[in-house]
């Protein structure tokens, strides 16, 4: 079952064309590496459902320092207190969680307390309900994000939004993601850029990084097959991750998570992706 079925999100992703345009670096001779590498737990959701503690231990042993939780999976049958204890024991950090958009329509206070307990900076909505069809629907949700974001900021937490491939599909000649982001209040809401989803939808992550340079504060690092039909192991697809990472300002302050949505063996793929990023200089 796909994540969007749990989140009640939009329909099938639209394929598109993509041209990677590496950015010009301020210092062509400078190189950097990621200091922290996270894993979006949707990658290992089947393993987490069977053995949450054992899976998190395996992830930590690979070298990952961070994980992104999935509240819409109800912490895989564990309480927030149990999750926090496991993370502390394993030396893992969970700076964010993906949540159902319905959370923004109710009382946000319990979720903010949960985020604080888990030491989180971000509550991230991955997509919008499948009832969202028009530009006005998108704008109405942007207003909900602004309201929820203002409340979250009072508690020291950020509300954020993550992009799916079909967010690039125009509605009445307008890309809904563009209209949505323009409506958001940057003082209340931040963005998580899924570079692979952007490519699969026909968008250009480098272009969006240039346009919204100060809006993206979290990243999903995902490579894409040549035919744009899905994701693949990092370094084997069409996404120039070196150029993208080099273009992100203050990257050391912005959580980065590996995500593969359907590898044959999720733990093997997670290890392969970590090893690639651990060696990557940009």
Range of lowest pLDDT (10-24, 94-108, 160-174, 239-253):
10-24
For strand 93-98 and strand 66-70, is the pairing parallel, antiparallel, or unpaired?
Answer: parallel
Domain borders along the chain are 36-279
Alpha carbons 154 and 257: distance in angstroms, whole number? 26
Kindly tell me if the per-residue pLDDT of 22 is higher than 50. Answer: no
Split at pLDDT 50, 70, 90, the class of 19 is: very low
Q: Which two tokens stand for residue 276?
A: 């690639």
Full DSSP string of 108-140:
-HHHHHHHHHTT-SEEEE----TT--SHHHHHH
Given pLDDT bands bounded at 50, 70 and 90, which one contains residue 26?
very low
Q: Are strands 223-224 and 231-232 parallel, antiparallel or unpaired?
A: antiparallel
Query: Cβ(245)–Cβ(21) under 8 Å?
Result: no
- What percent of the chain is modeled with pLDDT above 90? 88
Q: Say what the pLDDT of residue 31 is.
A: 86
pLDDT in tens, 172-192: 999 999 999 999 999 999 999
Mean pLDDT to the nearest integer, 118-146:
97
- For domain 36-279, the CATH class is alpha beta
Q: Which of 180, 224, 181 is nearest to 200 (CA)?
A: 224
Two structure tokens written together for 194: 């899924």
Q: Does residue 8 carry a pLDDT above 70?
A: no
Mean per-residue pLDDT of the chain:
91
**Phi then psi for 156, rounded to 5 degrees?**
80, 15
Output the CA–CA distances (angstroms, integers) from residue 168 to 48, 68, 123, 141, in the order listed.
31, 24, 22, 16
Alpha helices in the chain (DSSP H): 3-7, 45-50, 52-62, 80-90, 109-117, 135-154, 176-183, 195-200, 205-211, 241-246, 266-279
Q: What is the pLDDT of residues 60-93, one digit of tens each?
A: 999 999 999 999 898 999 999 999 999 999 999 9
């Amino acid at each position: 079952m796909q994540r969007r079925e749990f989140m009640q999100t939009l329909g099938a992703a639209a394929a598109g064309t993509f041209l990677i345009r590496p950015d010009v670096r301020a210092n062509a001779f400078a190189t950097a590496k990621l200091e922290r590498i996270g894993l979006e737990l949707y990658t290992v959701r089947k393993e987490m459902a069977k053995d949450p503690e054992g899976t998190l231990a395996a992830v930590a042993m690979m070298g990952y320092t961070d994980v992104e939780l999935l509240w819409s999976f109800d912490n895989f049958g564990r309480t927030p207190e149990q999750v926090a204890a496991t993370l502390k024991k394993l030396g893992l950090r969970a700076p964010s969680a993906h949540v159902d958009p319905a959370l923004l329509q109710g009382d946000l206070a319990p979720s903010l307390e949960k985020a604080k307990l888990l030491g989180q900076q971000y509550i991230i909505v991955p997509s919008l309900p499948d009832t969202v069809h028009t530009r006005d629907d998108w704008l109405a949700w942007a207003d909900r994000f602004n309201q929820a974001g203002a409340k979250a900021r009072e508690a020291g937490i950020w509300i954020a939004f993550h992009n799916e491939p079909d967010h690039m599909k125009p509605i009445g000649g307008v890309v809904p993601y563009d209209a949505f982001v323009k409506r958001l209040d940057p003082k209340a809401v931040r963005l998580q850029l899924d570079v692979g989803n952007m490519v699969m939808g026909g968008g250009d992550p480098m272009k969006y990084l240039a346009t919204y340079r100060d809006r993206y504060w979290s990243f999903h690092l995902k490579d894409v097959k040549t035919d744009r039909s899905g994701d693949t192991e990092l370094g084997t697809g069409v996404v120039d991750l070196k150029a993208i990472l080099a273009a992100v300002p203050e990257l050391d302050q912005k959580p980065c998570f590996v995500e593969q949505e359907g590898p044959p063996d999720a733990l093997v793929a997670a290890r392969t992706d970590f090893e690639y990023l651990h060696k990557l200089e940009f």
